[in-house]
Structure 1
Amino acid sequence: MGELKQNVWKLYRWVESRLGLIEPMTEAATHPTPENNVSWMYVFGSAATVLLLLQVVTGVLLGLVYNPTAKDAWDSLQFINHNLSLGWYLRALHGWGSDFMVVIVLIHLIQVFLFGAYKFPRELTWIVGVFLLLLTLGMAFTGQVLRFDQDAYWGLGIGASLVSRVPWIGAPLVHIMLGGPIIGGATLSRFFALHVFIIPGTLLLGTGVHIWMVLRHGVSDWPMPGRLVSKDTYISEYHELTERTGVPFVPDGAWKDAVFAATMILAVMACAFFFGPIGPSGVPDPTIIQTVPKPDYPFYWLYSVLAFLPPALETPLILIAPVLIIAGLLLVPIVASEGERHWSRRPVAVLTVTIVVVALGIFTQLGSTTPWSPKMEAWSSDPIPEQYLKNRSPLEHQGALVLQNKQCRNCHMLGGSGGERGPALDTIATRMTEDQIIRQVLQGGGNMPAYGNALTPPETKALVQFLLTLKGNNVPLAEDASRKLAEAESTDRKSQ
């Protein structure tokens, strides 16, 4: 037995002398940390790392079966759900792990902000953490696209629409994003590469850098009221505190991290077992427009915000707000690298966090419960009110039928029934001329998609003729003032 131990020890020394990994890892694990850091408030970073590893493992296993082609992606997910042993549970672990990871990373960022742990000398640690949050959100979004179901298809279309609003370079960005002018096989290949290779690789690298900086500068000590951060004295004060009260991170500090991380893994496993995987819903079909694409849970708040925004504010807010928010997060440690860290002495920081958390909670709740327009039941059960069909010509009756069959009332009210995303149609003929209605129907605009490819010329003519009868209490039809002026000028020239 003693000889066996000696041989094992010799083998270990031989490997370690050539790799040099075990001893540095042991030193890193047992590095001293101030005793007041042994707290349940310092467990979120470790939990996020463990959840990332769960995503990598489950993602690799799914990648062995998933077929990233427009033709086979949906079928491969059906195969995983119904034909592969525990395939449904593997997908559920991956999906719920993604949601948990987004939440934990966000909580970790908020905790670091409230504790002032972004201040000197940890400014770069915070900046890397911000990028890790963005990469985590990117992983969640690209994962939804890979389901390539009806929700993913139209959700990606909405995403492309948002990107197209970027001035000057919007169209090239959309082309790069989709791999062409339409959503297709090239689109799925690009998002597969992003989700499986580019973003996870960058995320793992960034996590390694983040952990290295935490080890290099030490875990930020518990903030105390009146203990200010000064670039001239903080490092010496931190080392003095560590020498005086320090305990080894493993095991004194790590056991709480391990317990919390294990709890999160068990919670993911429970959610996966009881709630199952997300989707896929229906087969992606661009001809089926009566769908209500809804993002995954981490993006419900964005879904709600965009639904509440007036159309005139959508483009400015979409283009400006993300830039300002990200720039603000990155500049926080630059403009406030010194000073007070305790939250009781930083009311602006506490107020900011409170507003953000409350707003995210409210908009997330609205996104999960509010029946946003278009309403799926708006057209299927309620016929067009009778008063809109009286004294109409056969062509206008045909137009009413087109309005019903093309589900226009998913987005537009008529007689108090229908969707609320678009304007009501009861008085549309008093607000828009015939030419304007035709152009809006065929080319779309604002929140309305183009229906030029979904309607035949006879259907378009019939629909427009019916819409021209919708003028309320016999209010005069809308007129094109420029056309009347042109006709008047033409008459004057002829008389001369």
Structure 2
Amino acid sequence: MSRLKQVYNWFESRLQLEGPVKEAALHPVPRNTASWWYVFGSAAMTLLFLQIATGILLAIIYVPSGSEAWQTLNELNNQLHLGWFLRAMHGWGSNFMVAVVLIHMAQVFLFGAYKYPRELTWVLGVFLLLMTLGMAFTGQVLRFDQDAYWGLGIGASIMSRVPVIGGSLVHLLLGGPIIAGATLSRFFALHVFVIPGAMLLFTGLHVWMVLKLGINEWPMPGRIVRRETYLQEYNELTHKDGVPFVPDALWKDLFFSAAILAAVALCALVFGPYGPGGQPDPTIIQTSPKPDFFFLWLFAVLSYLPPEMETPFVLIAPAIGILVLLALPFVAGVGEKSWHRRPVAVLVLVTVAVSWGIFTHLGVHTPWSPIMNAWSGDPVPEKLVHSETPLERQGAVVFQAKQCRNCHSIGGEGGQRGPALDDVATRLTEDQLIRQVLQGGGNMPAYGKNLSPPEVTALVQFLETLKPAGRPAAVNAAQQAQAQLGR
């Protein structure tokens, strides 16, 4: 022990950390703040460290290249020992982090913790929320599957609508005029270096200000925040009815953070990693890309808006929302904190939460992507197989046996998750049909491992018969032009 004490003294004499650490650990906080309502900030910081740790391990394997990104994720999922679990921990950690940060912001708003003298603490929290969402979006892009490819295309289309500088912003975002390897390199740098670095800096400032200004007291009705007297009243409260942060408040933070990590690990074990889905293919345009869960509300809102309202909404609404959040502590920085005497604040919070829940539900189950409830037991309409060849009829059998009718309708019967197939042969060439069946894309999973080559051939032959009478089949424009030149 004496040897350890000597080593400790050697480091302490040079670093001199004992005093600041003790001051931070033992600083008094109001007794009522040692509560389960105050654990979300620590949990968010724990999840940030989890994301950084798992992200570093993933970055060792991941190759931000248009030709290799998708393949490296599949190697992690299927070849590297526990690679799938590492990806799952990172993906579910992102989901939990977004959820915990949102809950923490709602709790701070409800408790009036943005009021004097914690205005800057709230502003830093708003930027941390935006960076958390930015981490989530850039992480989805790095999956570089069909959803990520077309989702990024939609995002670039939205950004291009910014007046004057829209084109330059798109070029800066994509690293060129198209989505390619340079795009992944830029998103990789944002996801691994820029945003995490900024989040660590802002988190450090956020914690520093919490230590210096104190944890917001429990919002008691009638306890009014006044700039002239608040600091004196708060200091008196911590002296009369205060407890040291360690251990009275810390043990709840540690317990809740451990529970959150356990929940992330459980979801990773049970549900596995996110994707990647079908390999990105710009030639497959019959796709319906969807964002990850926490952006589904925006997806639904944009889907329901009239076309003429879409551009004003995406350019104006987010800017107004961010400005309102940033201005809140400066406009309403004094007065009551208790939610019992702030009915407008409670109504706003409930309205936002209910609206978010409704639009998220609509984003999952909407007319363009409803609950998959069609019954595949109905036979393929006789008229579609009456005069077909044996191979095409065999394809109809494959179509039936693999329950394709759960997602696709023929003759008005079947599911609506995917597009109706009555005219699919006029939209996709044979090569495109084969690629779609094998690799999937959009909402459609890849069936390359579930179908034998003869089954794929038969199925595609059947699909090529699905076109209205008198309508020509889809052709490859490039091949058609070469054939004409060859003449």
| Match in the other structure for 2:458 | none
Q: TM-score with structure 2 length normalisation?
A: 0.78
| Match in the other structure for 2:355 | 359
Which of 179, 195, 204 is the matching residue for 1:183?
179
Distance 1:164 1:100, change over 3 A: same
Cα distance between partner residues in 2 of 1:402 and 1:79: 34
Q: TM-score with structure 1 length normalisation?
A: 0.76
Cα distance between partner residues in 1 of 2:174 and 2:215: 42
Shift of 1:369: 2.4
Distance 1:72 1:104, change over 3 A: same
The reply to whether residue 224 of structure 1 matches residue 252 of structure 2 is no
Shift of 1:383: 6.1
Query: 1:69-128 deviations in whole A, cap 9, x for unaligned?
Result: 111101100110011101000000000000000000001001000100000000000000
One-letter identity of the residue aligned with 2:30: P
The reply to whether residue 133 of structure 1 matches residue 129 of structure 2 is yes
The reply to whether residue 52 of structure 1 matches residue 80 of structure 2 is no
Verify the 8 A CA contact 1:33 1:248 in the aligned structure 2: yes
| Match in the other structure for 1:466 | none
Cα distance between partner residues in 1 of 2:172 and 2:107: 37
Cα distance between partner residues in 2 of 1:96 and 1:133: 17
Verify the 8 A CA contact 1:30 1:250 in the aligned structure 2: yes
Q: How does 1:192-271 map to 2 (within 5 A)?
A: 192-271=188-267
| Match in the other structure for 1:146 | 142
One-letter identity of the residue aligned with 2:32: N
| Match in the other structure for 1:382 | 410
One-letter identity of the residue aligned with 2:158: L
Q: How does 1:57-72 map to 2 (within 5 A)?
A: 57-72=53-68
Cα distance between partner residues in 1 of 2:55 and 2:16: 30
Shift of 1:30: 1.8
Secondary structure, aligned partner of 2:61: coil
Q: How does 1:29-428 map to 2 (within 5 A)?
A: 29-372=25-368, 381-382=409-410, 403-405=426-428
Secondary structure, aligned partner of 2:164: coil
| Match in the other structure for 1:424 | none
Which of 13, 19, 24 is the matching residue for 1:17?
13
> Could you tell which deviates more after superposition, 14-23 or 96-105?
14-23
Structure 1 gaps of 5+ residues are 386-399, 408-452, 460-496
| Match in the other structure for 2:444 | none
Cα distance between partner residues in 2 of 1:454 and 1:341: 66
Query: 1:351-372 deviations in whole A, cap 9, x for unaligned?
Result: 1001000011111112122252
Cα distance between partner residues in 2 of 1:22 and 1:65: 39
Distance 1:177 1:267, change over 3 A: same
Cα distance between partner residues in 2 of 1:201 and 1:303: 29
Cα distance between partner residues in 2 of 1:62 and 1:384: 46
Verify the 8 A CA contact 1:379 1:404 in the aligned structure 2: no
Shift of 1:23: 3.0
Cα distance between partner residues in 2 of 1:454 and 1:23: 74
Cα distance between partner residues in 2 of 1:229 and 1:26: 30
Query: 1:149-170 deviations in whole A, cap 9, x for unaligned?
Result: 1110000001001101111111
Query: 1:125-177 deviations in whole A, cap 9, x for unaligned?
Result: 00000000000000000000000111100000010011011111111000000
Cα distance between partner residues in 2 of 1:138 and 1:383: 43
Distance 1:271 1:163, change over 3 A: same
Distance 1:406 1:107, change over 3 A: farther
Cα distance between partner residues in 1 of 2:406 and 2:145: 23
How many residue pairs get aligned? The number is 396
One-letter identity of the residue aligned with 1:14: W
| Match in the other structure for 1:410 | none
One-letter identity of the residue aligned with 2:232: S
Shift of 1:14: 1.7
Verify the 8 A CA contact 1:384 1:404 in the aligned structure 2: no
Cα distance between partner residues in 2 of 1:268 and 1:254: 21
| Match in the other structure for 1:432 | none
Cα distance between partner residues in 2 of 1:177 and 1:378: 38
Shift of 1:338: 0.6
Shift of 1:401: 8.0
Which of 18, 24, 29 is the matching residue for 1:28?
24
Cα distance between partner residues in 1 of 2:425 and 2:297: 35
One-letter identity of the residue aligned with 1:76: T
Shift of 1:292: 1.5
Distance 1:106 1:379, change over 3 A: closer
Distance 1:196 1:94, change over 3 A: same
Distance 1:219 1:301, change over 3 A: same
Query: 1:292-325 deviations in whole A, cap 9, x for unaligned?
Result: 2111111111111111111111000000000000
Verify the 8 A CA contact 1:153 1:284 in the aligned structure 2: yes
Cα distance between partner residues in 1 of 2:210 and 2:221: 23
Shift of 1:458: 8.5
Cα distance between partner residues in 2 of 1:83 and 1:378: 32
Distance 1:213 1:401, change over 3 A: closer
Q: Percent identity among equivalent residues?
A: 60
Shift of 1:21: 2.1
Shift of 1:382: 3.0
Query: 1:387-434 deviations in whole A, cap 9, x for unaligned?
Result: xxxxxxxxxxxxx88744479xxxxxxxxxxxxxxxxxxxxxxxxxxx
Distance 1:378 1:317, change over 3 A: farther
Cα distance between partner residues in 1 of 2:199 and 2:62: 22
One-letter identity of the residue aligned with 2:10: W
Considering only CA atoms, is the larger Rg found in Structure 1 or Structure 2? 1
